[in-house]
Structure 1
Amino acid sequence: MDVIVTPTPKLQGDIQALSSKNYTTRYLLVAALAEGTSTIYFPAHSEDSDAMRRCIRDLGAIVEEDEEKIVITGFGNRPRDVKELNVGNAGAVLRFLMAVAALCPEVTFVNTYPDSLGKRPHDDLIDSLRQLGVTVNDNAGKLPITISGGNPKGGRITVSGNVSSQFLSALLFLTPLLAEDSEIEVLHDLKSKVVVGQTLEVLEQAGIKIEASDDLMFYRIPGGQKYEAKTYRVQGDYPGSAAVLAAAAVTESDVTIHHLEEKSKQGERAIVDVLRMMEVPLTHENGDVIVRGNGRLKAVEFDGDAATDAVLAMVAAAVFAEGTSRFYNVENLRYKECDRITDYLNELRKAGANVEERQSEIIVHGRPEGVEGGVEINAHYDHRVIMALTVVGLRAKKPLRILDAHHVAKSYPIYFDHLQALGANVEWVK
């Protein structure tokens, strides 16, 4: 399904932020790794979180759900012997479960999205799992991947943090369950440290003890631990809300998004600070972000490493800012569902934006007068690209047609419903 985005000068109304995808997938996993019954209130519903639900069921968790909560009886450190797992297009779910699969005799992760997740590399995690005594058969670091484990051993482990922090998070979920104590040293740089902080926060809530260095580059993990069955509440999602806030910023608006904690550890909370830097009129108090946009924005410079999943929305806003914006330290955007630098900027140029790329930077020469639009856009099956290109379409002079826009469901299935509720002129077409 495609979406046609017709220029929309005004947005107005209130919406409730979706629950956080990142926290939901982590809570689902720690609940599955617990012995006993856990309850997760206000879980996110997206392709990623649904993939985690499906896979922990396959691994032996009992999952019961109603409109408000999920109740999970976990399998602890004894997942069911399954031969195959299908994570769909969910990279974080794949990587977390590659580590958990080390507790199984043999599991093959299949490749159902060869043009997206199937292209993403996992070599760094594979190297680390082999250090634990796990046998891994892979396709040059890519799917399909077979994990032959059953009895992984703790000890000293190294993992590269250059490409993704998800490899480290995967090891942090696994190592507390091993009989031996473990030490993890992160090599090179560590991308998205804020997201590692979310993993550590959830592990602590689940009763797991981990000693982390201040720079998050070294960890001591006692072995023989057990995850505790707990009750969790999922906070609102900043990465998805970033696109809605950017849409409000580039139009004349009076938009309120509820359920966004001011003190959240989500790095994408920075969207609020960046829009303030761009001189967008907004307030943030009592969990509500209120944007009263006037369509006028100033250029910014921003280190995007800690707010990876909000950068594309920030760039979309900067397309209409006065001056030249620069988003730096964002190379890990290249290793997502698509190359979110080259692929995204190519589509922005089609719409009429003036953008440049470096290996780890995005430079935007703002056009406050707007962009031409009137073209078809390839979003490369990427939910974040779809959402960000929609923001640009709202301020273009002619409609944009975004191909395969249904892939927005990976993280925000009702994104276009929310935009329509605010008055955006968006229409699904076959």
Structure 2
Amino acid sequence: MNQLISSVAQKMSGTVTVPGDKSISHRALIMGSMAVGETVIRGLLEGEDVLNTAAAMRALGADIYRDDEGCWHVHGVGVGGLHEPAGALDMGNSGTGARLLMGLVSTYPFSSTFIGDASLSSRPMKRVTVPLEQFGAEFHGSENGTLPMTVRGTGSPLPISYDVPVASAQVKSAIMLAALNTPGITTILEKKPTRDHTERMFSFFGVETTTTPQNGGRLITVTGQPELTARNLVVPGDPSSAAFPLVAALITPGSDITINNVGLNPDRTGLFTTLIEMGARIDLLNEREECGEPVADLRVRHSTLKAITVPEGRAPSMIDEYPVLCIAAAFAEGTTVMRGAEELRVKESDRISIMVKGLRACGIEVEEFDDGMAVTGNGDKPKGGALVETHLDHRIAMSFLTLGMQSEKPVTVDDGSVIETSFPIFRSLMNGLGASIQADGEEKQ
């Protein structure tokens, strides 16, 4: 265990760049591997999740390496060019990597075995295996549909039409990746729109795909077996990572920070919209586009926050940000209500129950619902002082370390090493802005 302790910060100031977007980093490596030629990726997130995807794509036949300047080079094999891996594909803690790659290999005539850590091995995979079986793939694993699992792909896949029963970008993307090596047109209906990173990345690499609004959702088509040409791209900064220094600055008096190159995909900006509605001072500077994705620099200043009821329909655009929104809500005046977020129950952990338990341990009033929670603040500093169990969840860890920056007593998380999966420079970046986050037994800087 690597305990981390977060103590009060005087103010946050400075300019930083957060690591590349995790969702886009996974997809950049996968699509570069499916293109012909060399794809050069700048700003790739070098966390464990993405590195595991890179290792898996190497095992499937792509040549992937990092140069001395931090650029990643991907020499792809083309659609249809993957080969059977020699060993199991270890996806570590990454549900995104596991589900996307299950989709990718399901339409190839070989077997692939997926394994992961204890957290990933407890997470449901049937949501992706059910539609992938319709292409002709077979899945062999535990009775409850968790890893380890062997995918026996099909050499004669058939295009499918599928109505996605849950709002999940991972399910949609798994189907889209299976469709790449499937002749004909695959159709996907989302009842609730989810992140469209895969659609944007497909278009960027030249896949023929359409997206049409339909009954409040989206109808997506993918024309299979395209010839993809390598592209160079810059990965936008991850808005989910930017959320932590952003909230830290909002709750810390005297703060004024700038976060450069943050991805502002409309399907990912629910937290920013919510915080602005709560009174957050967030200014968008230098708005532009990178690899089909909108980006900007964010100026963030300390703000007086007021509680709101978050629209349930906003959940898909901020599903990973509810834990850190809970921290902002603890400093807001009134009760912030968050519903429609039942997907949090099946993330890296049951984020609803774990956040509720940790918030209460820190003296914060919170009500738990099946699909969310309500957090009450009074504008004062919460008590803090708790040792919070992270349950191997990086966002839980970072959220409570952010809380510790303005609570009356320091907040400790039981295992800070899990942060490596998505934000390897979290502690150094936060401390560089003015935070005080130390390992247990380490002297304050």
Does the alignment reach a TM-score above 0.5?
yes
Identity of aligned residues (%): 26
Deviation at 1:92, TM superposition (A): 0.4
Deviation at 1:158, TM superposition (A): 2.3
- State how far apart, in whole Å, the 2-side matches of 1:319 and 1:205 are: 40
2:177 — aligned with what? 173
Find out whether 1:371 has 2:382 as its counterpart: yes
Within the candidate set 238, 257, 277, 1:255 is matched to 257
Matched ranges for 1:150-165 at <5 A: 150-158=154-162, 160-162=164-166, 164-165=168-169
Within the candidate set 80, 99, 120, 1:117 is matched to 120
1:302 — aligned with what? 310
2:291 — aligned with what? none
Partner letter of residue 8 of structure 1?
A
2:289 — aligned with what? none
Find out whether 1:232 has 2:244 as its counterpart: no
- State how far apart, in whole Å, the 1-side matches of 2:261 and 2:186 are: 38
Check whether the contact 2:61–2:83 (CA below 8 A) recurs between aligned residues.
Answer: yes
Deviation at 1:266, TM superposition (A): 5.2
Partner letter of residue 411 of structure 2?
L
- State how far apart, in whole Å, the 1-side matches of 2:439 and 2:266 are: 31
Find out whether 1:75 has 2:77 as its counterpart: yes
1:214 — aligned with what? 213
1:268 to 1:244, Cα distance in 2 relative to 1, 3 A: farther
Q: Which runs of 5+ in 2 are unaligned?
A: 287-295
Check whether the contact 1:155–1:181 (CA below 8 A) recurs between aligned residues.
Answer: yes
TM-score by length of 1: 0.93
Of 267-276 and 362-371, the range deviating more from structure 2: 267-276
Deviation at 1:377, TM superposition (A): 0.7
1:291 — aligned with what? 300
1:108 — aligned with what? 113
2:292 — aligned with what? none
Find out whether 1:17 has 2:25 as its counterpart: no
Alignment partner of 1:29: what SS?
helix
Q: Which runs of 5+ in 1 are unaligned?
A: none
Check whether the contact 1:379–1:404 (CA below 8 A) recurs between aligned residues.
Answer: yes
Alignment partner of 1:323: what SS?
strand
Partner letter of residue 370 of structure 1?
K
Partner letter of residue 105 of structure 1?
F
Partner letter of residue 107 of structure 1?
S
Aligned structure 1 segments of 4 or more residues deviating by more than 4 angstroms: none
- State how far apart, in whole Å, the 2-side matches of 1:368 and 1:204 are: 46
Check whether the contact 1:163–1:335 (CA below 8 A) recurs between aligned residues.
Answer: no
Deviation at 1:185, TM superposition (A): 4.1
Deviation at 1:159, TM superposition (A): 5.1
Of 161-170 and 124-133, the range deviating more from structure 2: 161-170
1:20 to 1:99, Cα distance in 2 relative to 1, 3 A: same
2:274 — aligned with what? 274
Find out whether 1:135 has 2:138 as its counterpart: yes
- State how far apart, in whole Å, the 1-side matches of 2:429 and 2:109 are: 41
**Superposed CA RMSD:** 1.8
1:403 to 1:185, Cα distance in 2 relative to 1, 3 A: same
Matched ranges for 1:276-355 at <5 A: 276-286=276-286, 287-294=296-303, 296-303=304-311, 304-355=315-366
- State how far apart, in whole Å, the 1-side matches of 2:346 and 2:120 are: 10
Partner letter of residue 259 of structure 1?
N
- State how far apart, in whole Å, the 1-side matches of 2:149 and 2:206 are: 31
Alignment partner of 1:92: what SS?
helix
TM-score by length of 2: 0.90
- State how far apart, in whole Å, the 1-side matches of 2:194 and 2:266 are: 7
1:183 to 1:277, Cα distance in 2 relative to 1, 3 A: closer
Partner letter of residue 379 of structure 1?
T
Check whether the contact 1:19–1:42 (CA below 8 A) recurs between aligned residues.
Answer: yes
Instruction: Spell out, residue by residue over 1:195-242, the C-alpha distance to the aligned partner (whole angstroms, 9 max, x if none).
Output: 1x1110000001001223314543333233222211112111111101
1:184 — aligned with what? 188
Aligned residues: 420
1:310 to 1:268, Cα distance in 2 relative to 1, 3 A: farther
Check whether the contact 1:268–1:309 (CA below 8 A) recurs between aligned residues.
Answer: no
Alignment partner of 1:113: what SS?
coil
Within the candidate set 67, 74, 90, 1:86 is matched to 90
- State how far apart, in whole Å, the 2-side matches of 1:185 and 1:276 are: 31
Partner letter of residue 132 of structure 2?
L
Alignment partner of 1:89: what SS?
coil
Partner letter of residue 201 of structure 1?
R
- State how far apart, in whole Å, the 2-side matches of 1:260 and 1:79 are: 33
Check whether the contact 1:128–1:159 (CA below 8 A) recurs between aligned residues.
Answer: no
Partner letter of residue 399 of structure 1?
P
Matched ranges for 1:353-364 at <5 A: 353-364=364-375
